[in-house]
Structure 1
């Protein structure tokens, strides 16, 4: 292990992280990350895209705020001083890790400050919890970088710690060592990895780009006109509702009226049954899996959202942003 003299969170540290494969990248490269794909990681490493700013995320802010308390609690648990530091693998400087702590035996200690819901899941399911499974490759990568025989994963919540000793998993470490240089070769040569259609962003290329530009402006123009009509329609519905209420008031106790081309019929509609509450109150022991067995077949829906930026969010590659940088969000009617 080679120590790197950097302050975690500094600009120099960010550049160093971007120049190699870090422990947080490990879960992505072994396809264990629910948050990021290989393509997204590649896009961020090459500068094709920028990382999402999570500084305002309440869970991230909570974790940062609790970090000193978590460190203090972990140091009491281990009766050891846990030093944060940056390191690279001695045999391969591509492999990097920003360690929350390194104990006196040169074993990595990773600290997490989860939400209450995640804490309950971790303490209940332990190694079967989603959080443990997600952070497991990160700790194995740290073990790889440090050359340790084991590492530690510490969860801290409200003055309590849940500590996992994680032995070296040579099979996973070998997998990380195998995929890391392959991935990095794609970064260096800007060879785009295969996208995951379910998770990655579709960006039109070639002739499809021109067609998308036309269809997008057409859609935005029509949406503007639809919105204007909907506003007018809402005003008319309110006026109509007032007329209906006035006629109902004139009817008194009568249930039917018919005059001047308008027939008004009042009736009592039976309330809908709250089946979810019924199941909760009367069907103790019925599992979610059993309920799902009665669920009808899923259907695909499509939601279109108008954004305030012509370029895709977080994508900064000029090949993508240049074709739309001079276009206006205000659409001209001649496209119809």
Structure 2
């Protein structure tokens, strides 16, 4: 079903927050530009979507690429927003669709993706999943995938391929979105949101601090130039460790540790998304 919205408009952006969008599907599956929890925050207006330079250039060159596809395939592709007739949670904002000929296109602007398509004659995984989401929503029969980039001669190079519908992948996408809705959008989980957001924020800050500390430590060791140093609350010292390779020793001597020497314990941990 067609939704009367203009892509890029405020109304379109607001409408997308309540839907399962094709461009977000790679992230839901763990291979997109954002983490799943970030997609949840985007939908709640608490996080800005990632926009790369390639995405910005894609918006600029998209009409030109679409027109070339129209001429090459004798089509009348126009941008359209569609919601699935089977499940209106699923939305797709198509770069172009010719409804009479049951064809849609997906346009990307990326040198890396251009080279991948040329070498493999298929989209990379993240864009393959996006296209299959679009197949499900639009229920159209064909997809033309076009990737462009500005080459060394400052000219627009474009590669076109056709992608077929893959119902097995579509089923995987639907299950992934159901899990996302249960894990991140279910009201029962809202009580966790504040705690998890604070933990994620502090973890990101710690990561930056750890990276900065390691960099300064390396600079200090280099500055010490092989000599021990202690001043201003900082000590630079040399350590020598002697370790035993028990695993290799046991293997070389064809030995096994008796079962009564093993001890089991149980503990709980917290893994924070990077």
Contact 1:44 1:50 in 2 (8 A): yes
The CA deviation at 1:188 is 4.3
Q: How does 1:72-91 map to 2 (within 5 A)?
A: 72-91=67-86
Q: How does 1:179-198 map to 2 (within 5 A)?
A: 179-185=176-182, 186-189=184-187, 191=189
Runs of at least 5 residues in structure 2 that lack an aligned partner in the other structure: 150-154, 217-274
Contact 1:30 1:175 in 2 (8 A): no
Tell me the residue number matched to 2:131: 139
The CA deviation at 1:53 is 5.9
The number of residues matched between the two structures is: 198
4+ long deviations beyond 4 Å = none
Tell me the residue number matched to 1:5: 4
Contact 2:116 2:124 in 1 (8 A): no
Higher relative strand content: 2
Tell me the residue number matched to 1:172: 169
Runs of at least 5 residues in structure 1 that lack an aligned partner in the other structure: 196-200, 227-336
Deviation per residue, 1:100-131 (Å, 9 max, x gap): 0112322321011223x44234323333xxx6
Contact 1:87 1:97 in 2 (8 A): yes
Larger radius of gyration: 1
Which of the numbers 91, 111, 120 marks the counterpart of 1:96? 91
Contact 2:23 2:130 in 1 (8 A): yes
Tell me the residue number matched to 1:230: none
SS in 2 for 1:84: strand
Tell me the residue number matched to 1:17: 16
- What is the root-mean-square deviation in Å for CA atoms of aligned residues? 3.2
Contact 2:34 2:50 in 1 (8 A): no
The CA deviation at 1:20 is 0.6
SS in 1 for 2:118: helix
Contact 2:79 2:95 in 1 (8 A): yes
Deviation per residue, 1:10-55 (Å, 9 max, x gap): 010001111110101111223332x2221111122233x321463x
SS in 1 for 2:181: helix
Higher relative contact order, structure no. (Cα contacts within 8 Å, ≥ 6 residues apart): 1
